[in-house]
Chain A
Amino acid sequence: MTQTMAVAKALNESLRKALENDPKVLIMGEDVGKLGGVFRITDGLHKDFGEGRVIDTPLAESGIVGTAIGLALRGYRPVVEIQFDGFVFPAYDQIVTQLAKMHARALGKIKLPVVIRIPYGGGIGAVEHHSESPEALFAHIPGLKVVSPSNASDAYWMLQQAIECDDPVIFFEPKRRYWDKGEVDVSALPGDLHQAVIAQPGTDVTLAAYGPMVKVCLEAAAAAANEGRSLEVVDLRSLSPIDFDTIQASVRRTGRLVVVHEAPVFYGAGAEIAARIAERCFYHLEAPVLRVGGFHAPYPPARLEEEYLPGLDRVLDAVDRALAY
């Protein structure tokens, strides 16, 4: 049964489904109740499931995540909303020092099925702390799983899979794609949460991206096709773990890899991918793995974000450079 819906609506439907299917699922966060969240991802859930299931919390991120840990220890499955990327840091201590490690410390005897939803990334003209891409800071932490959907179908399915997962999952939502519509087959069986997919097959260069940058890469592939170039786009979907097999297989076909993300390049996800693929595909690579991403500078004021964010031109420029080897 296929329906067309925006990413935001897909997330909303996904949460609704999770609340219906499992009485242990709870939604928690600032303004998630009557307001339905600042992006309306929880719209209508408070009305239909009540404030025992959809909980407006005090304005305290460490408190939100810390209590979610306690609820999870008690058998609940909290799905926490952090209002914006830049506001996860008051909770970073709880996430890194507690949430990520408890399962290991308890020798596997306890589970921490906590999902932390974070609208992330730029492109919406916001003020500071509202446009950041801190995913590498979480992917670096053992014990956390980190995923990011790029389209409505993945938004719908990956969120439910994250909620069903017995490990903590940091669920990064590409906020500038919230209003993008796509097909969602609500009856299909979803794929593995951590498997990358080929979003666009091609033969000359592999573009690896996730979240908000997948669309940019698909546009770049379309533009390149006009010039007779065939780009393959891999949507990673998951950043921890990363499905290196799919990237490797693609790079063996194309011989070239460009990794694209909004986050600063320095110490970013692209660094990990470049290193692993260099290791795995050394004899198949025709060019060094190139990275396109943010600069080693604070996310700029809104009037400069068009320049800061990797767009079509910067991706195609990297493709040119890869092909020039």
Chain B
Amino acid sequence: MSVKSTAAGGAPAKGRGRTTRAAVAKRGSGEPGLVQLLTPEGERVEHDDYAIDLTPEELRGLYRDMVLTRRFDAEAITLQRQGELGLWASLLGQEAAQIGSGRATRPDDYVFPTYREHGVAWTRDVDPLNLLGMFRGVNHGGWDPNENNFQLYTIVIGSQTLHATGYAMGVAKDGADAAVIAYFGDGASSQGDVAEAFTFAAVYNAPVVFFCQNNQWAISEPTEKQSRVPIYQRAAGFGFPGVRVDGNDVLAVLAVTRAALDHARSGQGPMLVEAFTYRMGAHTTTDDPTRYRRDEEREEWASKDPIARLKTYLEREGIADEAFYAEIDAESDALAKRVREGVRNMPNPGTMAIFENVYADGSALVDEERAQFAAYLESFDTGDTTVGSTVGTGH
């Protein structure tokens, strides 16, 4: 299989913007076509098409983002085990893919996530507590998507790629200086919706970046059960460029996603980024990976840990000192505490919330059912007049 160029032939090349012709990483990655700027050993390498020059402060910022995101994720797992959350989808191991790509977005860009994008949410300044409501079972979303241009989490696999494409078509119609990024998994790449999103994005030259986090597994099924070619190569068949980036290398992800967003923003149409990464934990807290996955595989990927490699680099270059790490530790503890307390104190919705927001314009049918149900609840006449508080707290 040729790995000479990862760019698709058919992409329209109008507008300015940097070249998106991705080439083979010069060295270090071991994976064909993988763009890498920081090796697993924490060594900085260069890439012809994806140069990046970050200030020490920016580098420390990326490290901070990843550590805090990992800590948040760990806290959520603990809260799930303690019965405070019904479910959790961990991002452990995918911090670089999420932080790198999220930090590549600009405020005006718009993000369409799945259910695992806690790190991307972090980069968009979404309050981490907002992410936990649906996993605790108090709501189905919990934030205003337009506040941070960060859409609600999507559970139905692949759906959001079409929404992102349509949104991007709107952005283009408006002539806005923005791009859209749609997140999805390797498993999702099999869905018809994703293929249709690729088709629409290509046909309408929509400013959308398809960001696939290939974490190697869709619950129990390895990527080979979804595709016989590397996922980034699929873009070629639709007529836009695809590139594979080391998803555990935050610098490379940042550089590649930034380039892809620039490409989209400058009128050159969609691009597919495949972040080659790994899901270190279970699919969700209800999953048991020992039934389908070898331990050695996990260990092998542990040596490519995104946080460890950046830390090695920061230390080697003398970019961070002990005080910096101590500060991050303290910040992590504070975040964990805030999340823990916030979740425990998260109020249950009132019973009548069932009938809220079913329609924007209201509905006589809903009104009737609401009134009937309220009358039914009141018929118990427990002396508790607050219908809205009939739900137990659950802890």
Q: Is A59 an interface residue (CB 8 A)?
A: yes
**Contact for A59 among B87, B134, B190, B353, CB less than 8 A:** B190
Q: Is A188 an interface residue (CB 8 A)?
A: no
Chain A hits for B369, CB < 8 A: 295-297
Is there contact, CB below 8 Å, between A303 and B138?
yes
CB distance from B197 to the nearest CB of A (A): 13
Is there contact, CB below 8 Å, between A126 and B87?
yes
Known A126-B87, A300-B353: A58·B134 in contact at CB below 8 Å? no
Interface residues on A, range: 35 or more
Known A33-B220, A303-B391: A60·B190 in contact at CB below 8 Å? yes
Is there contact, CB below 8 Å, between A314 and B138?
no
CB distance from B32 to the nearest CB of A (A): 23
Most chain A CB within a 10 A radius of its CB, from B191, B220, B286, B358: B220
Q: Is A308 an interface residue (CB 8 A)?
A: yes
Interface residues as binary, A57-99 with B (CB distance below 8 Å gives 1, 0 otherwise): 1111011000000000000000000000011011000000000
CA distance A129 to B349 in the complex (A): 19
CA distance A162 to B350 in the complex (A): 42
Is there contact, CB below 8 Å, between B221 and A59?
yes
Q: Is B336 an interface residue (CB 8 A)?
A: no
Is there contact, CB below 8 Å, between A306 and B391?
yes
Known A38-B219, A304-B353: A314·B376 in contact at CB below 8 Å? yes
Q: Is A270 an interface residue (CB 8 A)?
A: no
CA distance A314 to B379 in the complex (A): 11
Is there contact, CB below 8 Å, between A296 and B137?
no
CB distance from A266 to the nearest CB of B (A): 7
Is there contact, CB below 8 Å, between A301 and B349?
yes
Is there contact, CB below 8 Å, between A296 and B358?
yes
CB distance from A15 to the nearest CB of B (A): 18
Q: Is A125 an interface residue (CB 8 A)?
A: yes
**Contact for A90 among B87, B193, B219, B288, CB less than 8 A:** B193
CB distance from A295 to the nearest CB of B (A): 5
Chain B hits for A219, CB < 8 A: none
Chain A hits for B291, CB < 8 A: 34-36
Is there contact, CB below 8 Å, between B137 and A58?
no
Is there contact, CB below 8 Å, between B365 and A296?
yes
Known A125-B86, A128-B134, A303-B391: A90·B191 in contact at CB below 8 Å? yes
Is there contact, CB below 8 Å, between A86 and B156?
yes
Known A59-B187, A266-B365, A301-B349: A295·B355 in contact at CB below 8 Å? yes
**Residue on B nearest A318 in the bound complex, by CB:** B376
Interface residues as binary, B210-229 with A (CB distance below 8 Å gives 1, 0 otherwise): 00000000111100011100
Q: Is A31 an interface residue (CB 8 A)?
A: yes
CA distance A35 to B134 in the complex (A): 26
CA distance A185 to B394 in the complex (A): 39
**Residue on A nearest B188 in the bound complex, by CB:** A59
Q: Is A275 an interface residue (CB 8 A)?
A: no
CA distance A18 to B135 in the complex (A): 38
Is there contact, CB below 8 Å, between A127 and B134?
yes
Interface residues as binary, B135-159 with A (CB distance below 8 Å gives 1, 0 otherwise): 1111110000000000000011110
Is there contact, CB below 8 Å, between A129 and B219?
no
Chain A hits for B191, CB < 8 A: 59-60, 90
CA distance A36 to B358 in the complex (A): 37
Known A31-B220, A127-B135, A296-B363: A303·B157 in contact at CB below 8 Å? no
Is there contact, CB below 8 Å, between A56 and B221?
yes
Is there contact, CB below 8 Å, between A304 and B391?
yes
Q: Is B192 an interface residue (CB 8 A)?
A: yes
Q: Is A272 an interface residue (CB 8 A)?
A: no
Q: Is B199 an interface residue (CB 8 A)?
A: no
Q: Is B360 an interface residue (CB 8 A)?
A: no
Known A59-B190, A60-B190, A63-B192: A295·B86 in contact at CB below 8 Å? no
Is there contact, CB below 8 Å, between A31 and B221?
yes
Interface residues as binary, A94-133 with B (CB distance below 8 Å gives 1, 0 otherwise): 0000000000000000000000000000000111110000
Most chain A CB within a 10 A radius of its CB, from B86, B365, B366: B86
Chain B hits for A58, CB < 8 A: 187, 190, 221, 225-227
CA distance A59 to B363 in the complex (A): 37
Within 8 A of B (CB), among A1-43: 30-31, 33-36, 38
CB distance from A324 to the nearest CB of B (A): 13
Chain B hits for A180, CB < 8 A: none
Most chain B CB within a 10 A radius of its CB, from A58, A59, A63, A313: A59
CA distance A57 to B157 in the complex (A): 15
Within 8 A of A (CB), among B289-323: 291-292
Most chain B CB within a 10 A radius of its CB, from A129, A297, A306: A297
**Contact for A317 among B115, B225, B353, B376, CB less than 8 A:** B376
Is there contact, CB below 8 Å, between A59 and B220?
no
**Contact for A308 among B193, B354, B379, CB less than 8 A:** B354
Chain A hits for B190, CB < 8 A: 58-60, 63
For the complex with contacts A57-B225, A304-B349, 10 further pairs of A-B residues with Cβ separation under 8 Å are A38-B286, A56-B220, A58-B227, A59-B157, A90-B193, A127-B140, A128-B155, A296-B365, A301-B139, A303-B349
Which 9 interchain pairs have the tightest Cβ spacing?
A302-B137, A35-B220, A58-B190, A59-B187, A34-B292, A60-B190, A303-B137, A31-B220, A59-B190
A interface, CB within 8 angstroms of B: 30-31, 33-36, 38, 56-60, 62-63, 86-87, 89-90, 125-129, 266, 295-298, 300-304, 306-308, 313-314, 317
A-B contact pairs, 18 of them (CB 8 A): A31-B219, A35-B220, A56-B221, A58-B187, A59-B221, A126-B87, A127-B86, A127-B134, A295-B354, A297-B369, A298-B358, A301-B133, A301-B137, A302-B86, A303-B136, A303-B349, A303-B394, A304-B391
